[in-house]
Amino acid sequence: MGAGFAVETGRFLWYKGIMNCTSPAKPVPESIAASLARSEAQIAAGQAVPLKPVLDRLRASINRMKAA
């Protein structure tokens, strides 16, 4: 799907094709699936984690990508 323009909202839809793209040929790695299952269980139990360590890991990951 290419770019588009939604007349009713007046917004460009250039991202629509990219955002709806999935790859069923690639299964989710077990480690990610296990992490997601743990996260869902923690959410259901009302548990939360501090945001700072999560942001620190994201920033470190971004820095590694920029350095590559």
- Spell out the residues 6+ positions from residue 1 whose beta carbon is closer than 8 angstroms to its own: 16, 17, 20
Average of per-residue pLDDT values in the chain: 75
> Does position 63 have pLDDT exceeding 90, yes or no?
yes
Structure tokens at 16: 């629509």
Confirm if 3 and 14 have CB atoms less than 8 A apart: yes
Residue 11 DSSP symbol: E
Top pLDDT among 1 and 56 is at 56
Question: pLDDT class for 61, splitting at 50, 70, 90?
Answer: very high
pLDDT score for 43: 87
